[in-house]
Amino acid sequence: MKTNFTITKMRFFLLAISFFGFVNFSNAQIINWTGGTDTNFYNVKNWDNTSIDFANLITVDLIIGAGSPNNPANLGFTGTETMAKRPRTFTTNTGANITITGTFFPNGLSTLNGTINVDALAAQFSMRNTAYLGKGTSGMLNINAGKVLVKNALYIGNATGGNGLVTVNSGTSLEIGNSLEIGTGVGDPIGDLRIKGGTVSVETALNIGPNGHAFISGTGKLIVTGNKEAVIKSYIKSRAVSCTVGKTLEVLFDGTKTTVRIKA
């Protein structure tokens, strides 16, 4: 009798979890940028639902498309609001053109198409899950100042028709908590990473597909945790990783991390 009672309680518990999980999912709001008033991301009049609560975005899926007529600028914020203004997911579609100058932390998946510019020294665009740039279409991420972080994997180019381009300029950084996937996966997407003086740090692995390429110039560095000398040298040999014409890349393992840079 006790065993049957325990099983019954367990079934009820699992059913309750499923029910509340469904309720949470069904309560998710999809809110789209319109840009009908100005470029201010935090002006509620620029969204198709003016009841948007920026202090409680945990159940909100934010979508940015082409502004009508304004594209969002000053995306993000400064101060102690990091935990509050986190959308459930963040998507930019074809035609989007946004500028990030503060701190912005999407909680779930980030799907980035169109153009994303990170443009201020204090900017910190931190995606707390997996990020896809150029998924099924074209996506461009320009890191001109500040830093970009991806907690899990970053896919540059993903799915059939995918075409992703990341440019990491001098004085900036791109930090990836899992693997960096450049032009990998089904559909042979195109992926292009250009490190022009900034630093790209990868915690797990670097994977480059048949249409993927990484280019290093100036003082740019690509750093991957672990001994990845053999893998990276094979990419250099196949020209999947290359550098400025007339320069040579060196691959250095310090016992913890492998660094790729232009030889002095």
Distance CA 99, CA 76 (A): 9
218 assigned to some structural domain: yes
- pLDDT, position 138: 98
- pLDDT, position 9: 46
Could you tell me the residue range of the domain that residue 54 belongs to?
30-262
1 assigned to some structural domain: no
Which residues on neighbouring strands pair with residue 249, listed in sequence order? 262
15 assigned to some structural domain: no
Distance CA 199, CA 169 (A): 8
- pLDDT, position 85: 78
Strand (E) or helix (H) holding 192: strand 190-196
Cα–Cα nearest to 42, from 55, 28, 60, 59: 55
Distances (CA, A) of 84 to 78, 129, 148, 150: 12, 17, 19, 18
pTM of the model: 0.88
Biggest CA-to-CA distance, the chain: 80
217 assigned to some structural domain: yes
The contacts of residue 81 (CB under 8 Å, 6+ apart) are 55, 103
- pLDDT, position 218: 96
- pLDDT, position 122: 87
Per the structure, how many domains does the chain have? 1
180 assigned to some structural domain: yes
179 assigned to some structural domain: yes
6 assigned to some structural domain: no
Distances (CA, A) of 28 to 62, 63, 130, 138: 10, 13, 19, 27
- pLDDT, position 55: 85
Distance CA 154, CA 184 (A): 11
16 assigned to some structural domain: no
Question: Going residue by residue through the chain (264 aa), what tens digit of pLDDT does each one get?
Answer: 444 444 444 454 444 444 444 444 446 899 999 999 999 999 999 999 999 998 889 999 999 999 999 999 877 665 555 555 799 999 999 999 999 998 899 999 999 999 999 999 989 999 999 999 999 999 999 999 999 999 999 999 999 999 999 999 999 999 999 999 999 999 999 999 999 999 999 999 999 999 999 999 999 999 999 999 999 999 999 999 999 999 999 999 999 999 999 998
First to last CA, the chain: 77
